[in-house]
Structure 1
């Protein structure tokens, strides 16, 4: 069953029983924890059960953000694409038992998961630690950056040489 309006929160168990699929978007203004968001979040959600009878929530989302290049410190626009499979859990202990290919997502006291908060988490986690432009668009070229070893100085002068010369005069 295809739905157009994306839920902010949803009961994943009921949604999986109905095999619900959603395609739509979350407005940029509804996103609180992601900075410099430049587009709505296009998103598809899918709820189902796998062979092990585990509830599975599949999220595929795209959003455009403005990041600051850590080489030249100029802003640049980039698209972030997040795709992941989640399985709802009620506790950390239950999360430990999940297969590695599912991320645990905590169910709240109403038996629901907060899809928007989950999406925000995924977007934040997918951001690069040090965002940089594509080299060809960056004002600081790869050639300007120094990597590797610092060349050794030929003759290190002894910082105490002047004291030595004073001592010898006395």
Structure 2
């Protein structure tokens, strides 16, 4: 039996620049399916923006989006990475890595302002980024007595998108 699911992902890297009280924030988002891929992307953004005041990061990836990390990069604790991760979680997208580059503009934003700026720039970038729908296909072998066929098939069709079922004798 083959089961098909669909997931939404970012089609290609996307960047969004916003200015908040003279500080410039550049949101960089892309699909990263593994933690190693996310770390490599983060390293590339940090290298590209070496002169930035901060490069804060967040990503979620892996089976069932089980790997989730965030980093405030010297901003006050919880004001950058976590709002970015929350924006990723709320986006409906899978396998996302986000970096927010900040060039300090001379005006302190306060903790609430930082939370809104970091979370907001990533949220906007994720909304505007080009997306694609990926099909994920899993193949399973299920063995059961013929007498249970109706019950099992009804349950499977209710909870799974089944593309193909093959029957064999035991």
Q: TM-score, normalised by structure 2?
A: 0.26
Bigger Rg, structure 1 or 2: 1
The structure, 1 or 2, with the larger RCO (C-alpha pairs under 8 Å, 6+ apart) is: 2
Q: TM-score, normalised by structure 1?
A: 0.26
Higher helix share: 2
